[in-house]
Structure 1
Amino acid sequence: MAGDCSFSPLRIARCDRSVPRILLTFFLSLLFACSSLIASAQLPGSEPKKFEPVIPDFAAPSADWWTEWTEASSEERQQWLEALTKAWQEWREKLPEDEALQKRATSIGQSLQGIEVTWKRNQEYQKVTLLPDIKFPEKPDVMDWAKADGAINRGRQRMTSFQLEARQLDQTLGQSLSQLRKQVILLREARDTEDREATALTLLRTQINHLNIIEQRDSLEEFLGTWQEKIDSAEDHLKRMLDSLLYSEEAAKALEKEIKTQSDAIEKIGATRTSIQGSPELRTDPVKGLQKDLTLMQLEVDLLEGHLKRRKAELLQSMNWVLMEGKDEEDRQLIVSRDLLETAGTIIESTSRELNLRQRQVSAWRGEEGEEGPDLSRWWGYFERIDSGLNNAQDLVKDILRYEVAQLQVYKERQGWWATVRERTSLMIDQAYKRWRQLADFQLFTIAQNPITLRDIAKIIFVMVCAWLISSFTRRFLNRLVRKKHASESSMYNLGRVLHYSIIAIAIIIVLSMLGLDTSKLALVAGALSVGIGFGMQAIFSNFISGLILLFEQPLRVGDLVELESGVFGRIRDINVRSTRITTRDNVDILVPNTEFVAGRVINHTLDDPVRRIHVPFGVAYGSDPDLVREAAMAAAERVTITHTDWKRKTEVWLMQFGDNSLNFKLVVWINSNMVSPLGDPYALYNLELLRELNEKGIEVPFPQRDLHVRSWDVPLPISRHSQK
């Protein structure tokens, strides 16, 4: 075996050590596949190639000897299996008397027999009569239709179980392929002879088991195809039966009896449940308490089944009623109420959750009590009965949905299209709503073990949008009060900001509770946030707190004219969480951090009184009349519109200094800061008017003058070298 290098991909890969084994194996397998296709190609008119079963080398089976099995027909597979079994039996006789090898050889023989067992089971499947209890009489009534519908539904449920088995076989097939690849690698890496023989037999058994899985899947797919065709045909017959239903007096009596039976059962179960719920016993014993809870759950499920069974009978009675000839159309009432189905869905969902909790409780008891504790297996009888009742209730809900559609169809045929348009529209809307609920309940991810669905995302978006709209409408209302002069701009601005932050904070808390987070643990979040603030968010947090101080303390308001220690001068436009916007005289918006207003020196020219005094310096030439200068300055001040004058605040002109070139005066004037244009400078306004008044009155505005005196000395001129020569 070690020196055998025959023409096989795996063996050549073992012999050639200079090329990577995996790459060489891949290319050689591709070469063999291409050669097989070329060899299998037939010229037009030539005879088809005779099928030859592939018999592997049992001592070292190749990885792809079985690949043509899926393309072979049933007769060819039978022939192949016979030849493979015969060759195996002959080769097995030559095996040494080794216990491990003989055990592997026996398992291979069992795997070959397993393929034959699969074929026999497929033959038994073919003998099975599909939908044996279904009948389609020539003159059907509603009871015949209900029996046929039930038979088809049972057949559909059986087909669903076979489809589940087919999906499981697909998964097993994928796992089997992975196992095949693993065994091929192990065979290639085997060193000694004993290990190689054992690994070869294991690979052969895996390959035969893989063929058995392929046979099981193919036979099941063929059976499912036949079953689906049969069910489709039966559903077509059922639709035609619905169009040819006839009124039956016997069916009417049977349905009336069924409705009465279910009504009596509902009344009896309801009385029993009320009696158990009203018992005054104290639930100190947990075992008795659990038994009472499970009994009530069982009664709740039985009560739900009774209501659903009665609804089925009522729907059939309605269908049979409309088929009666000579009956007034007004007496033929449709049953279209959706309350029962919605209630049933809620009860099934809540009972399933509660049943799951009770099962965990029993499992916890078993873990606590251990082997020495009481026998708790009796509780599983309760669980199985309740779970079976829930499954029956779900099936009854599906039956009622089908019966409602059939009822609409019968009424439409008997009373016309317009008679049921409202009910059919309601049914379509209800179906669309159920599909939307299924989509909305799709789980996207989990937060703190709470599933988050599309419905939760939609609710969160709705809450945030509503919060934003409420905040926007509130601020618009406050702005309207300002425009109508019912309130000041600054107070309404501060109130709007506070309300905006409060509304957003409440919306965030609501969103957190909707996500399933415990809002009582916000203290932990605040603690973690404080750590983050201490390390990296000091500036942001300090600006936020400063913004709140400015809003509540109101040392600054929107519209105030302020001057900061940094030299920024302008009007406040917005006070935000982190910064305040100031517009300068150059119409430049500057965002100033709020901490600068709280920790630094701020001059607010309009805090309490917008009237302030400014000093405008100017000079006139020596020899000017001071009274005339004072009169001109006073006239210039009056011509400026921002000048404020009353009995306490008067405009004054001061002679300040005898300068080098002029008499230095100062115009001291009171102005209203609110009347100053955001883009203007009050000093420029007064200087312009002063220049105009001084020129009109002939008062000279001096400018600096300097006298230059040239001084000369009697110094002899220097003698040049040329003159010396």
Structure 2
Amino acid sequence: MTQWILPAALILFSLLIGIVCEKFLFHKFKKIIIQKHIPGSRLIFQALHRVTFIWFLLAGFSSALVAASPNLSPELKILLQRIITIIFLCSITLVLARLTAGFVNSWTRKAEGVSASLISNLAKTAVFILGILILLQTLGVAVTPLVTTLGIGGIAVGLALQDTLANLFSGFYLIISKQVRTGDYVKLDEGHEGYVTDITWRNTTIKELSNNVVIVPNSKLASAIFTNYHLPAKEITLTMNVGVSYDSDLEQVEKVTVEVAKDVMREIAPELIANEPYIRFHTFNDFSIDFTLYMRVSEYFDQRMGKHLFVKRLHKRYQESGISIPFPIRDIYVHNNN
């Protein structure tokens, strides 16, 4: 039994070192590096999560295998070496896949409107496939015939998964054409509207203002008629129709209305204040002179708050300035035959 003491001690020592490094040193080092704001440091530590413990454990098993090799048969020794190699290569593949997905996600956040989910998952899948091929090649499995077989089998799989592939390629089309981007506010021809939160390999997820989620297949969205309120730019023009009485001084009406609109813009869209709001009179109506206010807001959703604030403040200013907003009045004449 004494001949197994050293291998067992090496395995136990590597296990303890792995736990200590993973639970204490790794987290402390992670906080120090992240506080220094080194680019990519957070992604690297996320990719190495739990993997450093596996590496320490594999180092212990490798050392134990070397120490116990005189007492092992050649076949068992080769088998254990292969198992350690397989686990090590799998861990390397996992780290590279995490890093690839992390850097792709980081890039997609900077490249406005590109879906993080579809592209990052595709990149991660590519790394996993490459890792599997390298692993098989390391184990002595001929990769070329396997790839050829998978290519032939892929044709049959593609025929069986036509709908899935249609959604996949439609998702790529939507991203490449930039017709729909994550963060865009869209309204479908069926009436659903909301913010695009993600484009996956199969569906596009739209989050409505009521916090409900609408799932639309990519192929359906690619062929649908929809309005993207963030294209060609997020900024849009809010329009409000207002009517004032015929007794009003139209010069004063214009001045007061524009001042109120500027005040609203300073609160909800200060970066657009250079685009001054304006009004245009257009109709002599039955009871009022009608005009339309044009005011820029940062995005589609800001229209609600803009209209809310504008109506409240305009009503108050009109009362203070003696400007009336008329309501329909009818004169009724009663004929008495007596």
**TM-score scaled by length of structure 2:** 0.62
Amino acid at match of 1:498: I
Q: Distance between the aligned counterparts of 2:336 and 2:70, measured in 1?
A: 116
The two structures, once aligned, show a CA RMSD in angstroms of: 4.2
Matched-pair contact (CA < 8 Å) for 2:101–2:124: no
Contact 1:562 1:605 (C-alpha < 8 Å) held by counterparts: yes
Assess if the C-alpha contact under 8 Å between 2:248 and 2:323 holds in 1: yes
Whole-Å separation in 2 of the counterparts to 1:436 and 1:499: 39
Match of 1:490 in 2: 113
* Correspondence 1:654 to 2:280: yes
Select 1:620's aligned residue among 244, 260, 270: 244
5 Å-filtered alignment, 1:20-35, equals none
User: What is the CA–CA distance in structure 2 between the aligned matches of 1:436 and 1:683, rounded to whole Å?
Assistant: 77
Tell me the secondary structure at the aligned position of residue 313 of structure 2: helix
- 1:509 and 1:520 map into 2 onto residues whose CA distance is 15
Q: Following superposition of structure 1 onto structure 2, how do residues 308-457 of structure 1 map, counting pairs within 5 Å?
A: 426-427=67-68, 431=72
2:290 is matched with which residue? 664
Q: In structure 2, which of residues 149, 154, 157 is the aligned counterpart of residue 521 of structure 1?
A: 149
Cα distance in structure 2, aligned partners of 1:628 and 1:575:
50
Question: Are residues 488 and 568 of structure 1, via their aligned partners in 2, closer, same or farther at CA, if it must alter by over 3 Å?
Answer: same
State the match for 1:563 in structure 2: 187
Count of equivalent residues = 266
1:598 to 222, 225, 242: 222
Partner of 1:54: none
After superposition, the Cα gap between the structure-2 partners of 1:468 and 1:432, relative to the gap in structure 1 and judged at 3 Å, is same
Letter paired with 2:208: T
Q: CA deviation at 1:685?
A: 3.6
Distance 1:706 1:525, change over 3 A: farther
Distance 1:425 1:669 in 2: 77
Question: Does residue 1:642 correspond to 2:269, yes or no?
Answer: yes
In structure 1, the partner of 2:320 is 696
Instruction: Please state how far the C-alpha of 1:552 moved relative to its aligned partner.
Output: 2.4
Between the two structures, name the one with larger relative contact order (CA 8 Å, sep ≥ 6).
2
Structure 1 length normalisation: TM-score?
A: 0.32
Cα shift readout 1:422-449 (whole Å, capped 9, x = no counterpart): 99992389659976977999xxxxxxxx
Q: How many angstroms does 1:571 deviate by?
A: 2.4
Letter in 1 for 2:166: S
User: Shift of residue 576 of structure 1?
Assistant: 1.4
State percent identity of aligned pairs.
22
Query: How has the CA–CA distance of structure 1 residues 630 and 433 changed in structure 2, closer, same or farther, with 3 Å as cutoff?
Result: farther
Q: Which amino acid aligns with 2:280?
A: W
Query: Distance between the aligned counterparts of 2:229 and 2:100, measured in 1?
Result: 30
- How far does residue 464 in structure 1 lie from its aligned partner after superposition? 6.6
Q: 1:581, 1:591 within 8 Å by CA — same for their partners in 2?
A: yes
**Given the superposition, is the C-alpha separation of residues 665 and 500 from structure 1 closer, same or farther in structure 2, using an over 3 Å criterion?**
same
State the distance in 2 between where 1:462 and 1:662 align: 80
Query: How far has the Cα of 1:502 moved from its partner?
Result: 3.3
Could you tell me which residue of structure 1 aligns to residue 160 of structure 2?
532
**Matches of 1:541 and 1:531 in 2, distance apart?**
9
Displacement of 1:634 in angstroms is 0.3
Distance 2:205 2:331 in 1: 53
More strand by percentage: 2
Unaligned runs of 5+ in 2: 1-62
Please give the alpha-carbon distance, in whole angstroms, between the structure 1 residues aligned to 2:335 and 2:205.
63
Structure-1 separation of matches of 2:243 and 2:325 = 6
Partner of 1:686: 310
Counterpart for residue 154 of structure 1:
none
The answer to whether the aligner puts 1:501 opposite 2:122 as a matched pair is: yes
Structure 2 letter corresponding to 1:527: I
Once the two structures are TM-superposed, the CA of residue 520 in structure 1 deviates from its matched residue by 0.9
Residue of structure 2 aligned with 1:474, choices 100, 125, 132: 100
Kindly tell me: are residues 636 and 436 of structure 1, through their superposed partners in 2, closer, same or farther at Cα, counting changes over 3 Å? farther
CA shift digits 1:290-325 (9 cap, x unpaired): xxxxxxxxxxxxxxxxxxxxxxxxxxxxxxxxxxxx
Residue in 1 that maps onto 2:18: none
- Report the residue type matching 1:531 in the other structure: L
Taking the aligned partners of 2:190 and 2:327, their CA distance within structure 1 comes to: 34
Q: What CA distance in whole angstroms lies between the structure 2 residues aligned with 1:657 and 1:428?
A: 97
Aligned counterpart in structure 2 of residue 581 of structure 1, from 189, 195, 205: 205
Secondary structure of the structure 1 residue equivalent to 2:113: helix
Alpha carbons of structure 1 residues 462 and 547: separation in structure 2 relative to 1, 3 Å: farther
Using the alignment, how far apart are the partners of 1:688 and 1:605 within structure 2?
26
Please say if 1:541 is aligned against 2:165.
yes
Rg (Cα) greater in structure: 1
Q: 1:688 to 1:427 in 2, by over 3 A?
A: same
Per-residue deviation at 1:654?
1.4
